[in-house]
Structure 1
Amino acid sequence: MNLSIKNISKSYGKISALKGVSMHCSKGEIIGLLGRNGAGKTTLFKILFGLVQADSGQLEFEHSKHKTLGGIIEKPGLYGYLNAHENLKVFSRMQGLKLSEQEIELSLQRVGLPIDRCDQVQHYSMGMKQRLGIAIALLNHPSYLVLDEPFSGLDPIGIKAISSLILDLVAKDKIGVLIASHLVDQLSAISDRIYVINDGEIIKSGETQQLIRDHSQLYTLYAPNIGESQCLKKYGAKLFPSKAILQLDTPKIIEVLQELQEENITITSCVPEVDFEKLFDIKV
């Protein structure tokens, strides 16, 4: 059974935090929940974990001998004065587990953390704390991993490392992953599908690449001799020896690529940039 969220609504007094939110995630799939801060992402995840009671709607997921959900909401809730081994021991006992030292080391290795580091986790970088939080979330082998803003506070190297970790977990363990973020570039890089939430409501959803194509107007084209193109000049493109940057409506890009082919220019890569304002239907 998929993890299904059906028509979830939640209000705090006169403020509607969620308005009939529906989405689903299958095992082996990465689902992105894209929205600005305050859009309702964290509230939805708290409802998933039973930390907040929904006013209406329902959640459906399979119940196995292991736990169904593991995750991080807002930020890893670690014991800063303990080391990584000790944190895993504490959280495993909370879940009724008694991990051996070997199992703890395997848990650390699984998320790319050193097994010989003994200092307090309060000295860890944000990326290492995220990794340890994920190791704790994976205790008891959950079917689904839920991550709330896992890229926040990370530098580009840290973002790439966490993204690679998530992709590796899905490939090896076939778990489903639900990620909430306000960073469209990071979500689009690893998600199979994306739901866009704005003011507590899902306003768009679809397969990631199609959603990007539908909301892109700026394209970077790469080719060894693209700087020699004549057709790109009429589109007002910025030309460089091996790349060109141009802005145009999505359907037009197919015509441009055909014209380049007629010029014997072989495009090696066409990278669209999502128009964030267009994605949220905001007029500026």
Structure 2
Amino acid sequence: MNTIVSTHNLSKCYGGVYGVNDVNLSVYEGDVYGFLGPNGAGKSTTLKMLLGLIQPTDGKVTVFGQDFKKNRRFILSQTGSLIESPSFYGHLTGLENMRIMQSLRSVPDRNVMEALQIVRLEKQKDKKVGQYSLGMKQRLGIAMALIAFPKLLILDEPTNGLDPAGIGEIRELIQSLPQRYGITVLISSHLLSEIEQIATSVGIINEGKLVFQGSMDQLRSQSESRIALKTANNPQAGQMLLERGLSPVIKDGFLTLQDLNDTEVASLNRTLVQAGIDVVRIEEHRQSLENLFLQLTGKEKSL
């Protein structure tokens, strides 16, 4: 796979404090890359450095295989972005705002109408933006970012403040972009539940440092798995397991153990039944991704 975005030891220091510290991102062609972290972790600062809106203190940004400093104009011509909240002229219609962006990006009329159709605003294009709902404004912001049909789309918290229906619309839109239009998407969020549903790859940043990067499957594989047994006599069963060198913990009516293979589980079940202890239930309990996220970013941090 071609690497669309890569950074090498990307850092930004404010008054002696690093907001972003040695971040090495790798975003591949066709990815929906979820950039996760608590509020204030360094997500927006990183994205602004990718777009040249903030000058890095240290490190290098490469986009489409080219050094950003040397090929800024070309890279930005192939990139669309929505950073923080979108900006519009509220007294103008959605279409008029799109025309302004059309002039800035020098794109044909068909791009304007197609971008509005993608975000489902073609029927509201003649309505003043000041009368748009928050969700409509977010969709218009994405349409403006899409107007040149870029190879790379960078979205910073695009579902902020939206209701569940609006979040669902944005999620469906983002998922469709790589396959339908060949657009690689880099999206930041502090909500794991949103990224989990749309991302193919994920990077997790905390206090300016990248603490995880990989596919969603790789992230899921890091969540701990435990075996939970429920018996007719948990105290007696627990004692038997201790005698076998295991360390069961009684929690919520279950004896929980470290992950065991199928042969070991079958052996435990047989031992308990032969001892006259009825085994009521055997389950595999896996740590949720949300708990794993909290673990990676520090439990004191809010989502």
Query: Same fold, TM exceeding 0.5?
Result: yes
1:169 aligned residue: 177
- Over the matched positions of the two proteins, sequence identity in percent amounts to 32
C-alpha contact 2:63 2:75 (8 A) present in aligned 1: no
1:278 aligned residue: 295
C-alpha contact 2:9 2:23 (8 A) present in aligned 1: yes
Structure 1 position 40 matched with structure 2 position 42: yes
How does the TM-score come out when normalised to structure 2?
A: 0.74
RMSD over aligned CA atoms reads: 3.6
Kindly provide the CA deviation profile for residues 86-133 of structure 1, in whole angstroms up to 9, marking residues without a partner as x.
Answer: 111001111223526xx4222211122233542211221222111111
Determine which of 81, 86, 91 is the counterpart of 1:71: 81
Displacement of 1:151 after TM fit?
A: 1.4
1:24 aligned residue: 26
Structure 1 position 7 matched with structure 2 position 17: no
2:259 aligned residue: 252
1:80 aligned residue: 90
1:121 aligned residue: 129
Count of paired positions: 262
Given the superposition, is the C-alpha separation of residues 179 and 231 from structure 1 closer, same or farther in structure 2, using an over 3 Å criterion?
Answer: farther
Letter in 1 for 2:290: V
Given the superposition, is the C-alpha separation of residues 209 and 254 from structure 1 closer, same or farther in structure 2, using an over 3 Å criterion?
Answer: farther
1:206 aligned residue: 214
Q: Structure 2: how far apart are the matches of 1:166 and 1:253?
A: 39
Kindly provide the CA deviation profile for residues 4-62 of structure 1, in whole angstroms up to 9, marking residues without a partner as x.
Answer: 12111111112211111111112211111111111111111111111111111111122
Structure 1 position 51 matched with structure 2 position 53: yes
Given the superposition, is the C-alpha separation of residues 211 and 231 from structure 1 closer, same or farther in structure 2, using an over 3 Å criterion?
Answer: farther
C-alpha contact 1:217 1:247 (8 A) present in aligned 2: no
Given the superposition, is the C-alpha separation of residues 232 and 86 from structure 1 closer, same or farther in structure 2, using an over 3 Å criterion?
Answer: farther
Kindly provide the CA deviation profile for residues 229-276 of structure 1, in whole angstroms up to 9, marking residues without a partner as x.
Answer: 9669967569xxxxxxx9968x63976xx88xxx9x9x9xx9945204
Given the superposition, is the C-alpha separation of residues 47 and 66 from structure 1 closer, same or farther in structure 2, using an over 3 Å criterion?
Answer: closer
Letter in 2 for 1:162: I
C-alpha contact 1:191 1:208 (8 A) present in aligned 2: yes
SS of 2:109 mapped into structure 1: coil
Displacement of 1:209 after TM fit?
A: 2.9
1:60 aligned residue: 62
Q: Structure 1: how far apart are the matches of 2:232 and 2:22?
A: 45
Displacement of 1:67 after TM fit?
A: 2.3
Q: Structure 1: how far apart are the matches of 2:52 and 2:6?
A: 15
Q: Structure 1: how far apart are the matches of 2:159 and 2:255?
A: 29
Q: Structure 2: how far apart are the matches of 1:252 and 1:86?
A: 60
How does the TM-score come out when normalised to structure 1?
A: 0.78
Displacement of 1:218 after TM fit?
A: 10
Letter in 2 for 1:154: L
Q: Structure 2: how far apart are the matches of 1:213 and 1:13?
A: 39
Displacement of 1:188 after TM fit?
A: 1.3
1:183 aligned residue: 191
SS of 1:82 mapped into structure 2: coil
Q: Structure 1: how far apart are the matches of 2:108 and 2:100?
A: 9
1:160 aligned residue: 168
SS of 2:139 mapped into structure 1: helix
**Higher Cα Rg: structure 1 or 2?**
2
Given the superposition, is the C-alpha separation of residues 282 and 84 from structure 1 closer, same or farther in structure 2, using an over 3 Å criterion?
Answer: same
Unpaired runs of at least 5, structure 2: 67-73, 235-249, 267-278
Letter in 2 for 1:18: V
2:71 aligned residue: none
